[in-house]
Every structure is written in C-alpha cells, then in structure tokens.
Amino acid sequence: MLSLIKHIHSFAKEVKLTSEEWHFAIQYLEESGKWCMPGRSEFMIFSDALGLSMLTVTQDYPKPAHATEATLVGPFLLENAPKFAMGSDISGGAAGTPMHAQGVIRDTEGQPVAHTVIDVWHSDDRGLYDVQDDLEKNGAWARAELTTDADGRYHFWSVLPVDYPIPQDGTAIRMLRATTNRTMRPAHLHFRLQAPGHRTLVTHIFDKNSEHLNSDAVFGVRPSLIADFVHHDAGIAPDGKKMDSEFYTLDYDFVMTR
Ligand SMILES: [Fe+2]
C-alpha cells in the first residue's frame, strides 16, 4: 500500500490532476463496476489492456525450460463449464468451420500428466463468446471441461476461432479508442489445465494466420504459443470421422510444471 500511495501521488503530481479529471475518473470506475458479472469483468479488461495482467503472469509464473508459457486468463472464463466426454463436439451450436484439436499434456520430464482437468473456451466465427450472448437463453457454447485419461491425451471438436475486438459495449473500449485504438485480439483458444501435483496452467493457443499477432490489444501473444490451424478440404479427420465439407485441425502439446 505504501508503494501504491507513493506512485499514485506521483502520478497525480506528474499529470497535474485536476478536480474535474479526478471526478471523471471516479465516475468512470463506478460505471466500469456495472460491467462486472460472472463471465465478464471490465476491470479484467482494463488490467489486460494496460499490460498489467501479462506483467503479473510473467513475473509470477516461473517457466522451466520446455514448459508451456502462461498467459493472462482474460475476462470470459466461467467456473463450472459444461462437462464433455473426451472427443466430443463442444461447439454447442456455435457458428463456424469445424475444427478438431488434439495433443498430449506432459510434465517437464516428458511423462504424460494423467487426469488433467482442461477448461477450453473460445469465440465463434462472429468473434463472440457465449457470455456475450444471452447465456441463459442459448446456453454455453464453445466452452467445455474435459478430463484426460492416464495417457494425458486430449482431443475434441469445435469451430475455428477468429480475430475479435475487445467488447464494444463497456468502458474499457473507450480508453482504447481514446489512446492507441488498438482493439483487436488475434484468433485463439483459451486453455486452463489443472492436475494434482502440478501448477495450474492458463494459456492461449494462437492461429499463425492471424493479422493481429503483433498487435494483440492485451499483449498475450508469445511465439511459442502460435500454432498452425491446418485447413483441409472434405475428407477423413484425425479421429476417423468423414467430413463432407472443409475443416481445420490443430495439434498442440502442453508441458506443465510440478
Ligand atoms: Fe479470448
């Protein structure tokens, strides 16, 4: 608290903060609070867009060699996501091109991490999350909890995520429009991996074809987290399913730390 007070006083002196600006800031924060609810935290978006979330993750999450890099959690994680059997289609009716994702979760010694609980959540092809739609009416989509077997392997179907802007209806977007106007996020899947004896890993996998990899509004991209979402014409998918139209596949292995 002493450090915070020192720096906030220093900030006010540096910008010669006026009463009018101070009052605006208080009202802005009050309005931001009204945009906080399960599955949507406006203060999270402020933290993300100011780079504070990634700074905190980077200094708080030790990364041994070969371990998967952690990233910010973002504003759209829901606890108690719908549970699916491994291999299921988790899209829940979300619009988009079918995508099959698979990989193995290992520890830093290369051993599979058994019984990992995986939360995965992502946008549909409009760039929207289920929590930005009417969740009560339409239910969850492109969101799941999956659990690996002893082999640490995961695989599921969903739809291809796309680039999307920071939510347009809150207060954080006004800050971005008034400053950098950098409001886009490159297409990605969010993952949270939890396993006994291992540090919980929250991360993203980004689409290497996105135009916004170098301008992520919330600074989440790391080169090691960029993957190839491979396009296929109609044919046989990795799980043997016959696809009558185009689809994408993603192969990505995770490494958790003890
Ligand atoms: Fe996201």
What is the CA(92)–ligand 1 centre distance, in A? 17
What is the CA(254)–ligand 1 centre distance, in A? 18
Tokens of 33: 């609070």
Residue corresponding to tokens 């099959």: 100
Instruction: Look at residue 21 and give its three-state secondary structure.
Output: helix
What is the CA(74)–ligand 1 centre distance, in A? 6
Q: Residues 6 or more apart from 257 whose CB is under 8 A from it?
A: 62, 63, 64, 67, 107, 108, 198, 199, 201
pLDDT, residue 223, reads: 96
Predicted TM-score (pTM) of this structure: 0.93
pLDDT, residue 135, reads: 84
pLDDT, residue 40, reads: 87
The H-assigned helical ranges of 85-189 are: 135-138, 172-178
Q: Which helix (H) or strand (E) element contains residue 17? A: none
CA atoms within 13 A on the CB side of 257: 13
Residue corresponding to tokens 């695989």: 155
| pLDDT < 70 stretches in the chain | none
What is the CA(6)–ligand 1 centre distance, in A? 34
What is the CA(200)–ligand 1 centre distance, in A? 18
Instruction: Look at residue 83 and give its three-state secondary structure.
Output: strand
What is the CA(45)–ligand 1 centre distance, in A? 11
Instruction: Look at residue 150 and give its three-state secondary structure.
Output: coil
Q: Tell me how crowded residue 136 is: count the other CB atoms within 10 A of its CB.
A: 6
Q: In what order do the strands lie in the sheet with 226-227?
A: 143-147, 117-122, 188-194, 201-207, 226-227
pLDDT, residue 66, reads: 87
What is the CA(22)–ligand 1 centre distance, in A? 32
What is the CA(76)–ligand 1 centre distance, in A? 7
What is the CA(29)–ligand 1 centre distance, in A? 23
What is the CA(129)–ligand 1 centre distance, in A? 8
